[in-house]
Amino acid sequence: MLKVILIVSSVILLLFLMMCFLVKPGERRIESFDIRTFAHRGYHDENAPENSLTAFENAKRLGHGVELDVQLTLDEHLVVFHDQDLERMCGVSRNIGDLTYEELLEYKLKGSNEKIPLFEDVLAILEDRPIICEIKTQKGVTDIRACKPVCEAIDLYKGPTANS
């Protein structure tokens, strides 16, 4: 029994040390983020649905950084949208990855006139605001096809970014 406890304790200690090594507590990762407020999916309210161009314009106007999610459409356009499917925001049970961008334009965000924006259009609006960008998964797996075009778009962006 003591041997089992020692083995389990050793494994837990090893995992903890690995986590500390990988995370490096106290180390600042992004020197250029000099703001503390980030608008999650843009600064959205009843007049500007989340992930809409208006929500991103609001965040910029208020001086916030932005957290956003990027994923690929069926025809490999980068769009800014959090959910895999359109149910919550557009009221239809369709997946982003199963639709072309042209098909996505048929749907409005939360009954507004806003559409799901292209990543490049959001970057153009934000100009130089700090961005935290997550590449979303498709059906539980990160779509590696999105990585290169996201990085290429971010390389051209003038503001500070963090990607995951």
CB–CB of 100/73 below 8 Å? yes
Residue 82 appears among annotated catalytic residues: yes
CB–CB of 73/49 below 8 Å? no
Catalytic residue among 40, 44, 64, 77: 40
CB–CB of 114/54 below 8 Å? yes
SS3 per residue for 85-113: ECHHHHCCCCEHHHCCHHHHCCCCHHHCC
Torsion sign (Cα): 66, 41, 58, 101: positive
Catalytic residue among 44, 64, 77, 82: 82
In this structure, which amino acid lies at residue 160? P
Residues identified as active-site? 40, 82
